[in-house]
Amino acid sequence: MSPDRGRPRHRAGTRTDAAPVRRGLTGSTAVLAPVVTVLTIGLVFVAVFLAAFHTPKAHRLPVAVAAPDRAAALFDVRLQRVAPDAFQVERYRDEDAARSAVEHRAAYAAYLDTSGPPRILYAGANGLAVKAMITPLGHAATPEVNRLRVQDILPLSKGDSRGLSVFYASFGLVLAGFLFGQMTYQLAPRLSFAQRVLSLTIFAVVGGLATALIASTVFDAIPGSFIALAGVIALMAGAVAAGTVLLIRIFGPLGVPLGSIFMLVMGNATSGGVLPPSFLPGWLQPLASVMPAGVGVRAINGLAYFHNDGVGDGVTILSVWVVFCIGAIFSLDQIAASTAIIHVAHRGKPSGAGA
């Protein structure tokens, strides 16, 4: 009779990308761990959002100027006198070029003084904070002109009177992406890699379509191509979800608070949905151009108002987020599977082999 008869055979199971699992906490650790974790997230939220928005100040907002040398220089001097370091004058060859700069978000306003009475153009789609800074400049920076016209050439949609619809839409999907990443491991920790990617794809696509339908069609709050909006929102949701899944895959339960801090708190604080990134403190501004929420908000605004400004960069950066995170999860899955196979093979090896 074979000595191995009756012994259970080791079989390679379905490869999964389950996060590391640990036994439940007990004692004083179980009492304090939730308190420390939740307070850390809450206090980081308070600190970051207060740092970003408690006294927001413009930092060298570009203002296009199409005017003769003397008029341009005089406007610049008066502008700095009214709001030092808040604006940066940039000369343009003619009125069409200056207007185009505003329409493509290369400038927040344009001072035109080449033909007819001087006037200021701005884009109300940049939000109420920018409007509140720009509209008084016409009279403050040119006091000798009695009837200086200030014109909004890109007003907000009628369904978005406060200019916050893009932020709410993006925040909702960023939050949903984080919750997806968390719940996918809580509800289905043993999903295979292919099943988890399929679940993430369905979430992102359905979330993008549903959000675009609600924001663009139902409430008429975000103008622009429905399919393009849905695509950008889906990429943003997928990037946040994939990033959260990767953090949990690497750090286990610790990945949940890390995802809260980086994806939710830092991402939404620097998204530019409440205030343009130029109003953020210097240490937060760089995050607006790399975090999924920031590049997503800029792309959505570009689709809605600014002639697709930021859409190309947004799609590229969001795609990199998704591909990198999924690739990293796949690599970790392969490493874990290889380690398991080696372990099974070692356990099944006779004790005297190789002696």
What type of residue sits at position 104?
A: H
Q: Which of 182-186, 279-283, 328-332 has the highest mean pLDDT?
A: 328-332
Q: What is the pLDDT of residue 196?
A: 93
Contact (CB, 8 A) for 251 and 259: no
Please give the model's pTM, rounded to 2 decimal places.
Answer: 0.85
In the predicted structure, residue 13 carries a pLDDT above the cut 50: no
Length of the chain counted residue by residue:
355
- Burial class from Cβ neighbours inside 10 Å (0-12, 13-18, 19+) for residue 97 reads middle
In the predicted structure, residue 310 carries a pLDDT above the cut 50: yes
- Mean pLDDT of the 149-158 span: 92
Q: Is 223 helix (H, G, I), strand (E, B) or coil?
A: coil
- Burial class from Cβ neighbours inside 10 Å (0-12, 13-18, 19+) for residue 335 reads exposed
In the predicted structure, residue 315 carries a pLDDT above the cut 90: yes
Q: What is the pLDDT of residue 346?
A: 61
Q: What is the pLDDT of residue 355?
A: 41
Q: Find the angle CA(305)-CA(311)-CA(316) to the nearest 5 degrees.
A: 170
**Cα separation values, 209 from 181, 213, 216, 319, 339, Å:** 19, 6, 10, 17, 40
Q: What is the pLDDT of residue 85?
A: 84
Written in H, E and C, the secondary structure of 47-62 is: HHHHHHHCCCCCCCEE
Rg of the chain, C-alpha, whole Å: 27
* 26, two tokens: 């007990």
Q: Which residue has the higher pLDDT, 52 or 231?
A: 231
Q: Which of 31-40, 108-117, 172-181 has the highest mean pLDDT?
A: 172-181
CA distance 310 to 104: 9
In the predicted structure, residue 328 carries a pLDDT above the cut 60: yes
**Which residues are 87's β-sheet partners?**
61
**Cα separation values, 236 from 108, 167, 178, Å:** 26, 13, 11
Look over the chain and give the mean of its residue pLDDT values, rounded to a whole number.
Answer: 87
- Mean pLDDT of the 264-274 span: 92
Contact (CB, 8 A) for 267 and 256: no
Q: What percent of the chain clears pLDDT 90, i.e. is strictly above it? A: 57
In the predicted structure, residue 314 carries a pLDDT above the cut 50: yes
CA distance 102 to 106: 6
* Lowest mean pLDDT segment, chosen from 14-28, 64-78, 170-184, 211-225: 14-28
Q: What is the pLDDT of residue 203?
A: 97
CA distance 164 to 128: 9
Burial of 44-64, coded b for 16+ CB within 10 Å and e otherwise, reads: bbeebeeebeeeeebbebbbb
- Mean pLDDT of the 234-248 span: 96
Segment 95-153, tens digit of pLDDT: 999 999 999 999 999 999 888 788 899 999 999 888 888 888 777 666 665 567 889 99
- Mean pLDDT of the 178-194 span: 90
In the predicted structure, residue 294 carries a pLDDT above the cut 80: yes
Contact (CB, 8 A) for 222 and 166: yes
Q: What is the pLDDT of residue 10?
A: 46
